[in-house]
Structure 1
Amino acid sequence: MSTLEAPRAHTAPPTAAPAPQRLTGRLKAVLAVLLVAQFTLAVDFSILNVALPAIGDGLGFSLANLQWIATAFALPAAGFTLFLGRIGDMIGRKRVFLGSIALLGAASLAGGLATGPGVLIAARVAQGLATAAATPAGLSLLTTSFPEGPLRQKALGLNGALMSAGFTAGAVFGGVITDLLSWRWAFLVNVPVALAVLVVAPAVIQESRPAVRPKLDLPGALTVTLGLLGLVYGLTRAGEHGWTDAHALAGLAAGAALLAAFLVVERRAGEPLVPPRVLRRRTVAWGNVLGLIAFVTETSLVYLLTLHLQKTLGFTPLEAGVSFGVLGLGTVAGGLLAPRLIARTSTTTALVAGGVVQTVFTAALLMLGTATGPSLALMLPATFFGGVGNMLVIVGFMITATSGLPDAEQGLATGLATMSQQVGITLGTPVMSAVVTATTGGAVTAGAVLDGVTVAIAVNAALVLLGVVIAATALRTRRRTAA
């Protein structure tokens, strides 16, 4: 290579240099590191759900305060994602990724060694902040490391499969670890994983940041972060205490007002956190709506089926957790299938086809009953194929919401996509819990729980069908306009 070629390679447009057509050794190492980290972060969302009673007994949590173990993680994980994604654009995504993984390891160690509720709650808050920083930074590193096209589609497919499988695996791991070892290992298992990532990542991942360092839109960051915190808090309270709870209504009202203020702030900001022109892209706007629906529906379905298995069929937490292994296999299969389907057809086709499959097999669960054998015979194949469909939608959403944007805006695009993902995971359970509570009126008999779960599953299927309609209309219009 001549001395004149190096500057030209740095400044040439992306089409000037041929993109790699296969995974090189370094790209495989990058993919492995990022996927391990993202899988671990996804597991943390659900691994403690089964262990909550054991933690309460061990550390002296009251029954009323147990929910804060989950909420203390969910609030920062969803609320700070967009803000910390922007910080990654400013100081370097690799730096933020490594720092957040280190924080995750330290917080997990503190949680595993906690001797009282205060330390444990603080550890969960730190884990949530680490997740809010590491997830968009890791996704940005993934999209900027792999060129747009088949390689990026394959990487995003694997990433989506492992993240969704991680959420499901968390329920399984939580039950196994709590029954066989101790709830403390649900925290401590993160420590060696974090150390391994910190050892390998610096050598294989290249720094990624925009050529021009953006400024921080502080008013925008504050309004969107506080708005999301209010929304998550309000929906969580509604899921636990009903829609008439004063704290729930106050949180929802404050969240809605702050998010409306955020939109006003962004129109007037010189360098907005989320430029309105980006949100005006149909792929970004509608892609994120579809991602939100995908994560709300599938993660909350796990909660609904857990209620059915334990409250109606009498399963133990471990038995219920293991039952979701089939769903995990479905998500992995969907993640492997999605890039091939997209390559042969289109992203919109994957979104529509995946949504239709998920709708059909979610609706099939309306036939669940009180007999164990028939319920499992229906649930296991329905969750497998529903997981395949859901993963087609998730991979399609990730590609749609991050494609067609320059590397300088990948931090913003992945921050928005990650926010949709985190908010969807966080809000799915309280929303469906509120539906169940409203249906049962607080009754806990097997029949009442089954009625509540059935109504919530119908709402779940309707939301997925709404996503199909959006994908088939809004994104198809976009493709015709582009043509």
Structure 2
Amino acid sequence: MSTALSELDGGAVEKESESARHHRLRWVVLGVLALAQLMVVLDATIVNISLPHAQAALGFDNADRQWIVTAYALAFGSLLLLGGRLSDLWGRKITFIIGLVGFAAMSAIGGAAVSFEMLVAARAGQGVFGALLAPAALSLLTTTFTDPAERGRAFGIFGAIAGGGGALGLLLGGMLTEWASWRWCLYVNVPIAIIALVGAVLFIGAQRSEHRPKLDIPGVVLVSTALFSIVYGFSNAETNGWADWATITWLVSGAVLLAAFVWWQSRAEHPLLPLRVIADRTRAGSYLVVFIAGIGMFGIFLFLTYYLQQNLGFSPIRTGLAFLPMIGMLVVTATTATGVLLPRFGPRWLMASGMMIAAGGMVLLTQITETSSYATHVLPALLVLGVGIGASMAPAMQGAISGVSSDDAGVASATVNTMQQVGGSVGTALLSTIAASAASSYATTHAMHVINPAELAQLAAVHSYTTAFWVAAAVFALGSVIAAVVVRGGKLPAAAPDAVAMAH
């Protein structure tokens, strides 16, 4: 009798530990999710530094070079909302694992590419599986951390990775290109994915939504083609200019399709993006802040990389190391902002002040000249930018998924990633075209005063960077105003009751 009772009791304990295990291992789960997020963010920039080497190996021309970057951005940006909804339908753990395996496989194919077409196809494949992986990771984070204080710390770490991963990608890309081969900029994802996969299988509890609505196929088609058109339009603008008929056609088509998508979502029985997700002021403001941060951050990475390498003569590795102080400041600020300040003061003024500090950092960068030094002109600006982006980005990511039910966690998370990705595409194209026109106008107006063509080219380049930094400063300042006006005052709402039930 006592044996039977002890067996029964042991079974109950075992059952209890199974249901509580995911919550008990929540910090280990955070490590797994952070690793996956880092891999996705790295791939937006890690390939950039290795492009000249890949070009020499595979023999494609300069006009085709942008497709190595654009193929990833197009697939990732246009399919994120679908990926988010699939994680709600299939279950977050399953979607996360499929994303990891697919991303690793595509990275291996890209690393082994023997032709330009094979490399572009692999990069597009990375984007497809990244669109499954990124929203699943963020929604798993949402449903795993339900205690406000713990959630703040978790989102601080996650937000720091989202903000600083691009700069880390430049460093890692430089190291791998210089010490190994450009192919390792793709192969490096395989060991990262394997570690994350083992962690996901062992530590993440099964999470499945109780309500499984049908997939909104018209919504998927509308939003995917809309986002594809917008990202492609901005990529085309970077290459061929804003007046090019293809640029105008793609951007107008994207805007029309996006409007049609919003109209359809208000009428669909099972909408892909329920309008209740974006109707909340705090979430809407947070999405806009993430979008604007994406524009500004890509501007920092792009033009500062050019300046450090071409004007100050930094090697790829030294360029990557130059960004590390910003990442360090970003990590410290993001974890402090979400762990200490956000629960006390709420997101509104934290995001607004962070964006304004980032604008100040960009203004500092506008002061660089062709004879500036890293220590006196670049480093102080990077430290200020780290504080500003850390104070705004991590709270915005938490605000963007605050108060949503667990059924909408995937699609709300996907919207955050979409905003950052599209913001990056917009920022790269917008700031590149502004910089290009600033360089050509400077060269034209100063040709009579500067006799040495090489010196003129250098002066024009620095002028183009400072012009782009002024525009980025204005963009960050606009983000500050939007956060102050749109985001609701007060603290964030507690986690949804059904999210609590899932996590424990």
1:236-292 CA-to-partner distances (Å, cap 9, x unmatched) read 111122112222222111111111111111122112112223322111211101111
Matches within 5 A, 1:214-229: 214-229=213-228
Establish whether residue 144 from structure 1 lines up as the match of residue 156 from structure 2. no
Whole-Å separation in 2 of the counterparts to 1:286 and 1:128: 26
Matches within 5 A, 1:75-474: 75-339=74-338, 340-373=340-373, 375-441=374-440, 445-474=457-486
Whole-Å separation in 2 of the counterparts to 1:479 and 1:318: 42
Whole-Å separation in 2 of the counterparts to 1:276 and 1:107: 34
Counterpart code for 1:270? E
Q: Report if the CA contact (8 A) 1:363-1:458 is conserved.
A: yes
Counterpart code for 1:452? S
Whole-Å separation in 1 of the counterparts to 2:384 and 2:492: 31
User: Over alpha carbons, which structure has the higher Rg?
Assistant: 2
Counterpart code for 1:102? V
- Return 237-246 or 457-466, whichever deviates more: 237-246
Q: Equivalent residue of 1:216, what SS?
A: coil
Q: Report if the CA contact (8 A) 1:359-1:462 is conserved.
A: yes
Q: Equivalent residue of 1:86, what SS?
A: helix
1:428-453 CA-to-partner distances (Å, cap 9, x unmatched) read 21221111122223868111111211
Whole-Å separation in 2 of the counterparts to 1:100 and 1:364: 40
Segments of structure 1 that go 5 or more residues without pairing to the other structure are: 11-19
Describe the shift of the 1:284–1:344 C-alpha distance in structure 2 as closer, same or farther (beyond 3 A): closer
Q: Report if the CA contact (8 A) 2:402-2:493 is conserved.
A: no
Q: Report if the CA contact (8 A) 1:352-1:468 is conserved.
A: yes
Whole-Å separation in 1 of the counterparts to 2:311 and 2:486: 40
**1:32 CA displacement:** 0.9
Whole-Å separation in 2 of the counterparts to 1:246 and 1:440: 23
Q: Equivalent residue of 1:61, what SS?
A: coil
**1:377 CA displacement:** 1.4
Q: Report if the CA contact (8 A) 1:209-1:408 is conserved.
A: no
> What is the TM-score when the length of structure 2 is the normalising length?
0.87
Segments of structure 2 that go 5 or more residues without pairing to the other structure are: 1-7, 444-455, 495-504
1:42-66 CA-to-partner distances (Å, cap 9, x unmatched) read 1111001011010000011112111
Q: Equivalent residue of 1:252, what SS?
A: helix
**1:200 CA displacement:** 2.1
Whole-Å separation in 1 of the counterparts to 2:320 and 2:429: 19
- Return 333-342 or 95-104, whichever deviates more: 333-342
Counterpart code for 2:113? A
Counterpart code for 2:263? V
Q: Equivalent residue of 1:445, what SS?
A: helix
1:7-65 CA-to-partner distances (Å, cap 9, x unmatched) read xxx9xxxxxxxxx9xx9751121111111111111111100101101000001111211
Q: Report if the CA contact (8 A) 1:294-1:390 is conserved.
A: yes
Counterpart code for 1:207? A
Whole-Å separation in 1 of the counterparts to 2:310 and 2:358: 25
Whole-Å separation in 1 of the counterparts to 2:282 and 2:372: 43
Identity percentage over the alignment? 35
Q: What is the alpha-carbon root mean square deviation over aligned residues?
A: 2.4
Counterpart code for 2:350? A
> What is the TM-score when the length of structure 1 is the normalising length?
0.91
Q: Equivalent residue of 1:211, what SS?
A: coil
Q: Report if the CA contact (8 A) 2:283-2:487 is conserved.
A: no
Q: Report if the CA contact (8 A) 1:210-1:408 is conserved.
A: yes
**1:376 CA displacement:** 4.1
Runs of 4+, deviation exceeding 6 Å: 478-482
Whole-Å separation in 1 of the counterparts to 2:252 and 2:334: 37
Describe the shift of the 1:102–1:372 C-alpha distance in structure 2 as closer, same or farther (beyond 3 A): same
Q: Report if the CA contact (8 A) 2:347-2:491 is conserved.
A: no
- Return 423-432 or 381-390, whichever deviates more: 423-432
Counterpart code for 1:361? G
Count how many residue pairs are aligned between Structure 1 and Structure 2. Answer: 465
1:422-479 CA-to-partner distances (Å, cap 9, x unmatched) read 2223332122111112222386811111121111111111111111111122224687
Whole-Å separation in 1 of the counterparts to 2:134 and 2:493: 32
